[in-house]
């Protein structure tokens, strides 16, 4: 059994359909997808130890099967630069989440590398009852949420189709460089779509996948948040 199979079957054994961010990211890594370095801390001291290993600045996030949208619960604090920042954020996240959902089951607090700001993109997949695994691409924020500016292709896709998915969004000029924003590495995004295509084709038990956001850099791309929902 490979790493991805192990993570999925463990969640199934525990009756969980939503994988935790560290589980979803470990699966991403197994498929060659670049994610922010991370570790799950169980105490504030451990969080500090991991932050020092990962190197400041770091981001802290709640790890709970009962909190799907982490920032809605006050469960994400970014740009922590010192030991004191990490200790305070650790306590605050637990407090926020308990206020949001008193009986939330908490696995720990994820300490992760803070990714540099960039144009944010979203890569997803949904299992369509008719077409099966279907991939989605769009730019982050208002482009997907408000303008529904997204493209879809049925998996598995070819590199050519992956490139088409990217170029076909209306917001594509933003990836192509404008004013003082450099062009994004479209090849890295094509590669990322190919990895996701392989992942969901290998695992028909994945019902939904959401890499949101992915930072699209001038060179390379980094997945900052990952969610996987099982059937």
- Which residues would be at the binding site for ligand ADP (CB under 6 A)? 36, 59, 61, 69-71, 76, 78, 112-115, 213, 224-225
Nearer to ligand ADP, 112 or 197 (CB): 112
Give me the least distance between CB of 201 and ligand ADP, in Å please: 25
Q: Which of 125, 212, 222, 223 binds Mg ion (CB under 5 A)?
A: 212
Cβ contact 114:59 at 8 Å: yes
Nearer to Mg ion, 85 or 225 (CB): 225
Contact status, residue 73 vs residue 62, Cβ threshold 8 Å: yes
Three-state DSSP class for residue 93? helix
74's contact among ligand ADP, Mg ion, none, with CB below 5 to 8 A by partner kind, is none
Question: Cβ 138 to Mg ion, closest distance in Å?
Answer: 13
Contacted entry of ligand ADP, Mg ion, none for residue 191, CB cut-off 5 to 8 Å set by kind: none
Q: Nearest distance from residue 1's CB to Mg ion, in Å?
A: 29
Phi, psi of 28 (to 5 degrees): -55, -50
> Which residues does 45 contact at the CB level (< 8 Å), separation at least 6?
none
Q: How far apart are the first and last CA of the chain?
A: 20
Phi, psi of 39 (to 5 degrees): -155, 145
Cβ proximity to ligand ADP, 185 vs 225, nearer residue:
225
Write down the least CB distance from residue 97 to Mg ion, Å: 16
Stretch that binds Mg ion, among 46-54, 91-99, 187-195, 222-230 (CB under 5 A): 222-230
Q: In the chain, at which residue ranges do the beta strands (DSSP E only) sit?
A: 38-41, 58-64, 76-80, 106-113, 119-128, 132-139, 150-154, 206-216, 221-223, 226-230
Identify which of residues 78 and 163 has a Cβ nearer to Mg ion in the complex.
78
Nearer to ligand ADP, 44 or 224 (CB): 224
Residues contacting 142, CB < 8 A, separation 6+:
none
- Between 155 and 184, CB nearer to ligand ADP: 184
Q: Which residues contact 160 (CB under 8 A, 6 or more apart)?
A: none
The one of Mg ion, ligand ADP, none whose footprint includes residue 70, by CB under 5 to 8 A per kind, is: ligand ADP
| Contact flags string 156-195 toward Mg ion, x per CB under 5 A | ----------------------------------------
The DSSP result for 153-215, as a single string, is EESS--HHHHHHHHHTSTTHHHHT-BTTBPPP-HHHHHHHHHHHHHHHHH-TTEEEEEEEEEE
Give the interface size with Mg ion as a residue count (CB under 5 A): 2
Binding positions for Mg ion, rule: CB under 5 A: 212, 225
């Amino acid at each position: 059994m490979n790493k991805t199979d192990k993570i999925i079957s463990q969640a199934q054994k525990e009756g969980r359909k939503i994988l935790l961010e560290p589980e979803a990211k470990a699966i991403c890594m197994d498929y060659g997808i670049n994610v922010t370095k991370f570790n799950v801390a169980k105490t504030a001291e451990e969080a500090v130890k991991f932050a020092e290993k990962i190197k400041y600045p770091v981001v802290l996030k709640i790890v709970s099967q009962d909190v799907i949208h982490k920032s809605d619960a006050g469960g994400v604090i970014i740009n922590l630069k010192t030991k004191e920042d990490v200790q305070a954020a650790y306590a605050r996240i637990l407090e926020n989440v308990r206020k949001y959902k008193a009986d939330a089951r908490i696995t720990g607090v994820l300490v992760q590398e803070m990714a540099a700001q960039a144009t944010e993109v979203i890569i997803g997949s949904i299992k369509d009852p008719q077409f099966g695994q279907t991939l989605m691409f769009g730019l982050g924020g208002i482009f997907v949420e408000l303008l529904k500016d997204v493209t879809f292709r049925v998996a598995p896709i070819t590199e050519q189709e992956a490139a088409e998915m990217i170029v076909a969004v209306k917001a594509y000029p933003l990836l192509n460089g404008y004013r003082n924003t450099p062009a994004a590495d479209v090849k890295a995004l094509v590669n990322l779509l190919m990895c996701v295509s392989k992942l969901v084709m290998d695992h028909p038990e994945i019902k939904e996948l959401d890499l949101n956001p992915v930072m699209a850099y001038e060179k390379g791309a980094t997945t900052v948040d990952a969610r996987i929902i099982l059937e």
